[in-house]
Structure 1
């Protein structure tokens, strides 16, 4: 897959001092969650910031211009002021919107290629808006924002990330972070939804093993892997039936482990310093695998709530780890 490229993003040099990290994942196009992440980076005075994947939103909402300053959204008719309220709510919930007339709406409904193109342009536009905000707020701060794509992110978003001055793509590189190194991988084990970036467990293991062979010292390596390790506190999700509905028994939703066995195997074999993961929104937790600290900050992007993890690395160890919410 050409995972390792010759040119690497600039790393962080700290001369042996402690490294302060802010990690988040699964922002899914939520404006308010992304802006809270940027604010938290300065509040915690971190050295680096990391987004573990899933930048893209999940829905494109059509807004029909019916003329005379009126718009129809999900059956509701509003004026220009109401439109501003609705579009901001859509953005904060991690969705996209497109304003079109009735003819354009019918074309989107009946032509999948036009719908796909509209969705693509909405993703690109939102990410470019985020890049502009990050570049303005972190200009001259010397705090890189390392960004990976997750399973819900199409590959073309990597090219958009490359347009930023402070947001740096991570997948395919060994990133030096002081005395440590970080590798990143956004593919996940197969899901019921057939998302953009999925692999079999064998493929995942092969790619991760190749990556681990590139690092200097596994014990000082951060694994920024979107898929959490299987059988931990990080990968609990509702058990689904054949119709993709949550299974309920005794009035309670049945939970099951859905993480990656390949990720777990790599951690058990190489015993890295730290594993930072996402993907399973409802599994906000810490755990340990073969002595390695692993964590998933969880996600409530659609409620505008920011979830992250604050970490301090010092003397080859994780000195501090704290889940934060705001």
Structure 2
């Protein structure tokens, strides 16, 4: 595989184009920094993030005074707190430092809890922006990014504050002669997340979006939901209590991807499909002539899952999964 990355063949728009793709970072500071650094190491022309950038949980930290804090019923010192905060940031857990009275008020006030969550999400994204702009300022590597199903809509406004991020649901971006388009809604899940739609709605949206693409053989679909019935959409089958079904001592898996995403790929045959959403289903597949990829995710362990893709003309010359 490594030898493929040394090819010097020219395409009709110049030399090969290198892309690094990841998805489902879920607020892991460590994974985001690794992704940015990997972009420099692999000398890519562009970075793509497929959505689900927001975290899922927030831990209140109660300031007891005298450099003592209560974290999940454990009393720790300020020195211990610094290490714990770094751990939270690595695994994608938000935190809020509150006085005892503010904490007690938040317990009874759902609106205040939502506000604390919102502030933590926005603060983290703005920190990521500063990191990306600082580390990539001499490289001029664009970051194409979109929201996934677990991301609240207000994050679009936050992401657009950055000069380095290219964000827009359904907007078509020119990238070294290729067209990148993103879409973050997914087919219904058992968890009723922020951005879900029925299959017929997804198909209607996608049909309208991709109709504006000028050349499908140079199109890159950054769609958060993986196409149905592929190597990218295997997830545990759940029972009525949302617990994995186990038969013969083994977890039963089923396909949970989007039939609409698959249909639109079958109809238009883009060059490349980049997907996420199903963390445990890292893999690649082919739908007609289209290569589709899901790098998987282990964000809570601070591990970067990514895919390095080399494009030449109207073909994918190489692709390689990266884990680190």
- Specify if TM > 0.5: yes
Cα-to-partner distance string for 1:101-158 (whole Å, 9 max, x where unaligned): 2221122221110000100000000000000111111114221011111011111111
What is the aligned partner in structure 2 of residue 293 from structure 1? 291
Cα-to-partner distance string for 1:21-54 (whole Å, 9 max, x where unaligned): 0000000000000000011000000000010101
Segment drifting more, 141-150 vs 121-130: 141-150
Contact 1:32 1:92 in 2 (8 A): yes
Contact 2:20 2:307 in 1 (8 A): yes
Contact 1:247 1:253 in 2 (8 A): yes
Count of matched residue pairs: 313
> Which consecutive residues of structure 2, in runs of 5 or more, have no partner in the other structure?
1-11
What is the aligned partner in structure 2 of residue 250 from structure 1? 248
Query: Structure 1 segments of 4 or more deviating over 2 A?
Result: 14-17
Q: Superposition RMSD on alpha carbons, in Å?
A: 1.1
What is the aligned partner in structure 1 of residue 115 from structure 2? 117
- SS for the counterpart of 2:316 is strand
What is the aligned partner in structure 1 of residue 32 from structure 2? 34
| CA distance in structure 1 between the aligned counterparts of 2:270 and 2:291, rounded to whole angstroms | 9
Cα displacement (A) at 1:17:
2.3
TM-score scaled to structure 1, two decimals?
Answer: 0.94
TM-score scaled to structure 2, two decimals?
Answer: 0.95
| CA distance in structure 1 between the aligned counterparts of 2:315 and 2:118, rounded to whole angstroms | 41
1:177 corresponds to which of 171, 175, 178: 175
Contact 2:13 2:313 in 1 (8 A): no
Q: Residues 1-326 of structure 1: matches in 2 within 5 Å?
A: 15-326=13-324
> Which consecutive residues of structure 1, in runs of 5 or more, have no partner in the other structure?
1-13
| CA distance in structure 2 between the aligned counterparts of 1:277 and 1:307, rounded to whole angstroms | 12
Contact 1:226 1:278 in 2 (8 A): yes
What is the aligned partner in structure 2 of residue 3 from structure 1? none
| CA distance in structure 1 between the aligned counterparts of 2:14 and 2:240, rounded to whole angstroms | 53
- SS for the counterpart of 1:215 is coil
Contact 2:169 2:184 in 1 (8 A): yes
Cα displacement (A) at 1:178:
2.0
Contact 1:33 1:306 in 2 (8 A): yes
What is the aligned partner in structure 2 of residue 7 from structure 1? none
Cα displacement (A) at 1:66:
1.5
| CA distance in structure 1 between the aligned counterparts of 2:260 and 2:170, rounded to whole angstroms | 18
What is the aligned partner in structure 2 of residue 6 from structure 1? none
- SS for the counterpart of 1:282 is coil
| CA distance in structure 2 between the aligned counterparts of 1:211 and 1:165, rounded to whole angstroms | 24
Cα-to-partner distance string for 1:210-257 (whole Å, 9 max, x where unaligned): 111100111221110000000011001111111111111111111111
| CA distance in structure 2 between the aligned counterparts of 1:325 and 1:127, rounded to whole angstroms | 23
